Structure 1
Amino acid sequence: MLVTPFCLMLTCLQVSPDRSQFFRYDSISLSCEDLINSTGWKVKRKTSDSGVRPCYSGWGFPSAASTCTIGNTYPTDTGVYWCESDTGERSNEVNITITDRAVILESPAMPVSEGAAVVLYCKAETNASKHKYNFFKDGRLIRSNCSGEMTLLSASKSDEGLYTCSAAGLGESEGSWLTVFSDPNNQHVQLTSVSFPGSRLLCHLIVGIPYLLSTILLGLIYRDRKREKLDSIYAYSVAIK
């Protein structure tokens, strides 16, 4: 999917593959991406069956620091997922749906930025024959084709809504809500898997520059005061002579 995920916080829950719907038995990787500190965050979830539980408590396997993997998903894994620190701070929330239906809609797990290109895929569990695919927004048919692909060239607020799709003879997918975020001041953090290291460096620069400038300013003040003191001593010694 050609998307620009939006994260409103420095710590974001990233879903791989980047979508909100999965077939039964699919594998999902969940990771807490922190622009400043990549440790100290744990993946948690809330489901209708078991309430709030952290990774490794019967539903996932921590494959690395701040990362959780679900090897074989089930419909009972449907729920809300997020990252949480030891001090109770929370990241964005992601709604994940695990379905036993024969069709899913592959749409971004996170909000997308206004103007970004977004590709939605209608995916059948079995592709033995050519299917006709239909895309719906808020219950209204908006596209039909045989490719199972629908592109929003430049996402706008009007594209927000509940999307579903269907494949002829296989039924309809679950619904996924597409959120388009408008950021006129460009003050929020944009994250993609390929640009994340650069974003991390940028964040460190933004945080460190004020301290660097303060250090330079204090050094200049100290130098000027020392120079004034030396000038005073010299003038006093000349006056005595």
Structure 2
Amino acid sequence: MEDAALCIRLSVAALILMAPVDRCAAQEAAFPRISPDRLQFYEYEVFTVNCERDAVAKWIVKTDHAASAGSSPCDAAAPSCSIDPALNKHTGGYWCENEEGQRSGAVGIAVTAGSVILEMSAHPVLQGHDVTLHCRNKKTGSQQTVDFYRNESRLETTYNKNTLSISSVSTSEEGFYSCSISGAGASPQSWLAVVNQSKADVEPRPSHPPPLHLLRLLCVVAVLLVDLLLLVMGVLVGRKHRGTVASSTKLRLPETEVCTQ
């Protein structure tokens, strides 16, 4: 039952990850940072989700598990949150969101009570780069025979080696990855995202609008410039008008003299 619930929540997290997001928001805050940098954790470990980049950042951590799991450390509308200790109920999607409702992509975190996890970076992989997956057994650090899976289909079996390397990864290799170790069990599934370097920024940099006092200053400067422009135009028009009057007076003087004689 626990495995089924875990699978459902990870599927929801993957849908969040694959769903289209605001392009500007995605460029400015691609994904939250996870520390340690991986997607799977054992129960009672500690991990941190961070959307903060500077002192005035307006991005906060959001998660999809709070409604069903009850109170969460990430419910405080803060730029970062620490899950301590991590429990199975903390499995789900995590993303960054700002005051305007723009949101970053999501990362799907899996917390398991089992002995096996699949370690890979929480950040998406850039297309054309290499990626290494490590199957970890909590009970032993020795190398073992490991089966690696993509979308529940066996991808490769490694002997006396707990890692799988994928060279020059492409978008066709996106999917749910997992691993299993004989006698120890299987890991949860985690979504491997592959992004185009020209369209995505894998380092989240939450942006923020200009400070209010700066906007006010810009408005004052704009008004002063308009007033100055109107003043200059008024002076020029006044000078032109006086010049026209003076010219008209000079032209009428000879007629006045002729009439006088």
1:149 and 2:166 correspond: no
Would you say the 8 A contact 1:21–1:97 is kept in 2?
yes
Query: 2:135 is matched by which residue type in structure 1?
Result: C
Identity percentage of aligned residues? 30
The corresponding residue for 1:230 is: none
Q: 1:147 to 1:35 in 2, by over 3 A?
A: farther
- Separation in 2, partners of 1:171, 1:32: 34
1:77 aligned partner, one-letter code: H
- Matched residue SS, 1:51: helix
Aligned pair 1:44/2:63, yes or no? Answer: yes
Structure of greater Rg = 2
Which structure has the highest strand share of the two? 1
Corresponding position: 1:31 with 2:50:
yes
Amino acid of the structure 2 residue aligned with 1:167: I
| 1:132 and 1:146 in contact (8 A); partners too | yes
What does 1:1-241 correspond to in 2, within 5 Å?
9=25, 10-11=28-29, 12-33=31-52, 37-39=56-58, 41-46=60-65, 50-51=67-68, 55-56=72-73, 66-127=79-140, 129-138=142-151, 139-182=153-196, 186=199, 188=200, 190-192=201-203
Question: Shift of residue 34 of structure 1?
Answer: 5.4
2:234 aligned partner: none
1:96 is displaced (CA, Å) by: 1.2
Q: CA deviation at 1:42?
A: 3.9
Taking structure 2 as the reference length, the TM-score comes to 0.61
Q: Give the C-alpha shift of residue 165 in structure 1.
A: 0.6
Structure 1 gaps, min length 5:
1-6, 205-241
For 2:119 and 2:142, locate their aligned partners in 1 and report how far apart those are by CA, in whole Å. Answer: 20
Mean Cα deviation higher: 109-118 or 29-38: 29-38
Separation in 2 of the partners of 1:104 and 1:74?
Answer: 14
**Native 8 Å contact 1:43 1:55 kept in 2:** no
Q: Deviations over 1:29-75 (max 9, x none)?
A: 0011458952352443325xx4387853xxx597x951100111111
**Count of aligned pairs between the two proteins:** 218
State whether residues 44 and 55 of structure 1, in contact with CA within 8 Å, keep that contact through their aligned partners in structure 2.
no
Q: Which amino acid aligns with 1:148?
A: N
Distance (Å, rounded) in 2 between the aligned partners of 1:130 and 1:181: 31
Q: Any conservation in 1 of the 2:124–2:202 contact (CA below 8 Å)? A: no
Give the aligned CA root-mean-square deviation in angstroms.
Answer: 4.4
Long gaps (5+) in structure 2: 1-20, 210-261
2:189 and 2:182 map into 1 onto residues whose CA distance is 17
Contact 2:49–2:61 under 8 Å retained in 1: no
**Greater helix percent: which structure?**
2
* CA–CA separation in structure 2 for the residues paired with 1:45 and 1:136: 26
Query: What is the CA–CA distance in structure 1 between the aligned matches of 2:192 and 2:143, rounded to whole Å?
Result: 27
Would you say the 8 A contact 2:62–2:75 is kept in 1?
no
- Residues 40 and 153 of structure 1: is their aligned pair in 2 closer, same or farther, counting only changes over 3 Å? closer
Shift of residue 156, structure 1, vs aligned partner: 0.7
